[in-house]
Amino acid sequence: MKTTFKVCFLLLSSSVAATEKNTMVNTTSELSYWCKNKSSQHFFAKGITPYNWTSSSWTKLNTLNIKGSWKIKNTNQDVNCRILKGSLLKYAIIEMPSQAMTALTYDEIPTSSATDLRDWCKHISAQHFLKNNKMPYNWSARHWNKDNKLYVKGNWKINGSTKIINCQNTKGASEKYATFEITE
């Protein structure tokens, strides 16, 4: 019976993971729901049962933030989640300082056009800044193809300064092979 439960749980988990990649987050309540579930999955996978989830949420510029906490054996386990408003869940950041956990993921999704790369570039660079507690805003970018290469040159504003983002990939290559570079 335990084996059946594990198999069902694994099937359910992979189904949820596939849905996450295509789910856009626009509110702190959507992010809070994901943050709670993702962090509880982390603990359950370690054989730990968390209880008494509490959280607070806020929006700063265009960044959604959740500060949550679980009780585990009468000890608080902090959970922090951030995402750029309007981003797909696959770009969300989850941090649990006591667990040394930061979720940064890359997909096997092929980059078939400069527009695809522009979207990837925007979200992956925002994820980079959010991970470092910097709030990006006012994204602008241009994108182009040359031969079999895709290029993006974008800008984020952060604390009044402009950060230049350059991204490139080979047409048809997975997102995980794309590169980005940040300059001022």
* Residue 54 placed within a domain: yes
Per-residue pLDDT tens digits for 131-160: 888 999 999 999 999 988 999 999 999 988
Residue 10: band (very low, low, confident or very high) from pLDDT cuts 50, 70, 90 = very low
Q: What is the pLDDT of residue 12?
A: 36
Residue where a domain terminates, one of 102, 127, 151? 102
Verify that 94 and 126 share a domain, yes or no.
no
pLDDT, tens only, 120-134: 999 889 988 988 889
What pLDDT score was predicted for residue 66?
95
> Over the stretch 11-23, which tens digit does the pLDDT of each residue have?
333 334 445 667 8
Verify that 36 and 73 share a domain, yes or no. yes
Residue 6 lies in a domain: no
List the structure tokens of 156.
């984020």
For residue 171, the model assigns a pLDDT of: 86
* Whether residue 183 has pLDDT greater than 90: no
Assign 172 a pLDDT band (cuts: 50, 70, 90).
confident
pLDDT of residue 99: 66
Q: What is the pLDDT of residue 21?
A: 64
**Contact present, 66 and 81 (Cβ < 8 Å):** yes
The enclosing domain of 137 has a CATH number of 3.10.450
Assess if residue 159 is contained within a domain: yes
Total domain count, the chain: 2
Range 116-122, long-range pairs (CB < 8 A, 24+ positions): 116/150, 117/143, 117/150, 117/151, 117/152, 117/167, 117/168, 117/169, 117/178, 118/143, 118/152, 118/154, 118/167, 120/167, 120/169, 120/175, 120/178, 121/152, 121/154, 121/165, 121/167, 121/178, 121/180, 122/154
Domain enclosing residue 138, as ranges: 114-183
Mean pLDDT of the chain: 82
Does 170 reside within a domain?
yes
Q: What is the DSSP string of 49-68?
A: --EEEEEEEEEETTEEEEEE
Q: Is residue 12 part of a domain?
A: no
In terms of Cα–Cα distance, which of 124, 103, 142, 115 is closest to 179? 124
Percentage of the residues of the chain whose pLDDT score is greater than 70: 83
List, for residues 38-95, the tens digit of each pLDDT value: 998 888 888 888 999 999 999 998 899 999 999 998 889 999 999 999 988 888 888 8
Which structure tokens are listed for 48?
């730990």
Q: Do residue 81 and residue 30 come from a single domain?
A: yes
The two three-digit tokens of residue 113, written as one number: 């056009």
Examine the fold and report which residue of 78, 102, 126 is the final residue of a domain before the chain moves on.
Answer: 102
Q: 130 and 173: one domain?
A: yes
Pair (77, 131) in one structural domain? no
Q: Assess whether 119 and 92 both reside in one domain.
A: no
Q: Which of 102, 132, 166 is the last residue of a domain?
A: 102
Instruction: Please check whether residue 4 lies inside any domain of the structure.
Output: no
Residue 107 lies inside a defined structural domain of this protein: no
34 domain residue, yes or no: yes
